[in-house]
Structure 1
Amino acid sequence: MSAEIPLLGGTANRGRVHRVGDTVRRPLRPTAPAVHALLRHLEDVGFDGAPRVLGVDAEGREVLTYIPGEAVTAPAPPWGLTDAALASVGRLLRRFHDAAAGFDPAPHDWSSPASAPFDEGGIAHNDPNLDNVVFRGDRAVALIDFDLAAPGAPVWDVAGTARFWAPLRDPADTDDVRAGRELDRLRVLVDAYDLDDDGRARLAAAALGHHAWMSALVGDGARTGVPGFAEYWTPQTRARSERARAWLERRAGAITAALA
């Protein structure tokens, strides 16, 4: 077998994801059957922006196809923070939701469905962070790491993407060229996705809900010993999360107005 090359990025699986030739080997989670059913559906409908499932290796790891390209890992390269890159993320996310629209999640067990009232109406990737999007030629071409995929409304996923990419948080916690441009970049993402009027009206609430959902997931994982989460969920991270929550509450009206 080819040499194993560690792949950077991620929190829960940090140091546990490897490239082997043209494949990726990842820890097998209890929700893998559900995620694999989704990935096989995406393959069946011709969506090329997600890995293909190849099986399980001798060490009990899931085996997926390797998608060539580059993710935006820290320190973020300048091309990954441009409005053009952001717009391409919006278009990719829309293609994913359109491709997943015919998938029935009901027969499967999922890890963490979106919070009500955003827990119906589709399938959400749920973790479209910068290092979970593959780029080629400065354009987003694929989503990876579907571990947290679960039933969720499209606007929930758009809001989660905006939290990471705009980013929707206190500008004091953004130390790159995006600081102070949160609402401008939100509009770039939403327009590229072509979010409908109802979604635009609900996005501020979805962003606050997604923030609370993700914070609870990581906090619970840290307390129960999920690899990577305890190391990540420091007092400084918790304080930053609280500032983001307060900012989202304070700026909810401005978020909605920016999308009108």
Structure 2
Amino acid sequence: MPAEVETQLLGGTANRGLVVRVGDTVRRPLRPSSLATHALLEHLERVGFEGAPRLLGIDSQGREVLSYLPGETVTTPYPGWSMTDEALDSVAQLLRAYHEAVADFRPVGLRWAEPVPPEYVTGLISHNDPNLDNVVFRDGVAVALIDFDLAGPGSPLWDVATAVRLWAPLRPDADIHDVRRGRSFTRLRGFADAYGLTEADRLRLVDAAADNHVWCMAYVRHGAESGHPWFHERWTTGESELTDRTNTWFKQSANALHQALLD
């Protein structure tokens, strides 16, 4: 019987070089929070949510086995279709569909990954990392979320803040090196509209995005300080300086960002 052919996938920063495709499956390392993540994926399958991989088991090497979701993820250099307002709208709509699918998931006694700030925890299990390379597209439309490693107790607001911070993106124009430069405020408003964000959450979204940036960069910095090679490379090749610039930008732009959401 021929050996299974493993094709290395990019993986996220934490799993760089450790994620492989085998046929129609993906194999990924287990983590302390894997039982919780698996319970989440099993719930999503039970309720018929098709925008997430299926858990298929554990292989002989002790790796989780997930269904492979065909499509494209957004990595540099960003393709033109991925930067359109239509693509952005579809990400917001996919995130809304995920939140609706997970709304009645009530896990007990599970160990999750990185806790989010308590003021953004409402009982919903949020994805917490809807980065550009964690969304699968087909024909320019977002159809699935992958990499649930950071999933855990959060809220719709926290997920929206995470997504729009990365997809708008929310950072100084000088640090945006693609066609989104100069359009952050417009795309912020567009994402909130496409998601159908409530008025109460619109009032908190700017602060949530700023807090999310601090939370995310603290996670990266901790990984770098703990000796993780890919986090160390990321933190020491400009991420530290970008973090400081973005924190300052959020403070200076807060009023204008609020205005863009509420006009």
TM-score norm. by structure 1 comes to: 0.97
The sequence identity of aligned pairs, in percent, is 56
Aligned partner (choices 175, 178, 197) of residue 176 of structure 1: 178
> 5+ unaligned residues in a row in structure 2: which ranges?
none
1:235, distance to aligned residue in structure 2 (A): 5.1
2:140 paired residue among 138, 141, 154: 138
Structure 2 Cα separation of the partners of residues 188 and 2 of structure 1 = 44
Query: Retained in 2: the 8 A contact 1:121–1:154?
Result: no
Equivalent position amino acid for 1:23 in 2: T
Name the counterpart of 1:242. 244
The 1-side partners of 2:180 and 2:107 are apart by 36
Structure 1: 4+ residue segments shifted above 2 A: none
How far apart are residue 16 of structure 1 and its match? 1.0
The number of residues matched between the two structures is 260
Aligned residue number for residue 69 of structure 1: 71
The CA RMSD over aligned residues, in Å, is: 1.1
How far 1:225 moved relative to its partner?
2.2
The answer on whether the counterparts of 2:11 and 2:18 sit within 8 Å (CA) in structure 1 is no
The CA distance in 2 between the partners of 1:256 and 1:12, in whole Å, is 33
8 Å contact kept, 2:11–2:19: no
Deviates further, 165-174 or 247-256: 247-256
| C-alpha contact (below 8 Å) 1:113/1:119 kept by paired residues | no
The corresponding residue for 1:149 is 151
Q: CA deviation at 1:256?
A: 1.5
Partner residue, 2:24: 22
8 A Cα contact 1:222 1:229, kept in partner: yes
TM-score by length of 2: 0.96
Among 181, 201, 204, the residue aligned to 1:202: 204
Which is worse superposed, 244-253 or 164-173? Answer: 244-253
**Structure-2 separation of matches of 1:29 and 1:9:** 14
Aligned partner of residue 119 in structure 2, secondary structure: coil
Between 1:225-234 and 1:51-60, the stretch displaced more is 225-234
Deviation for aligned residue 1:188: 1.3
* Matching residue of 1:8: 10
Quote the Cα distance in structure 1 between the aligned partners of 2:147 and 2:94.
15
C-alpha distance in structure 1 between counterparts of 2:140 and 2:237, whole Å: 35
Does residue 81 in structure 1 map to residue 83 in structure 2?
yes
Aligned partner of 2:84: which letter? T
Aligned to 2:92, what secondary structure does the other structure show?
helix
Q: How many Å separate the matches in 1 of 2:38 and 2:169?
A: 30
Per-residue displacement from partner, 1:171-229 (whole Å, max 9, x unpaired)? 11110000110010111111111010011000011101111110111111111123421
> Any unmatched runs of 5+ in structure 1?
none
CA distance in structure 2 between the aligned counterparts of 1:20 and 1:142, rounded to whole angstroms: 19
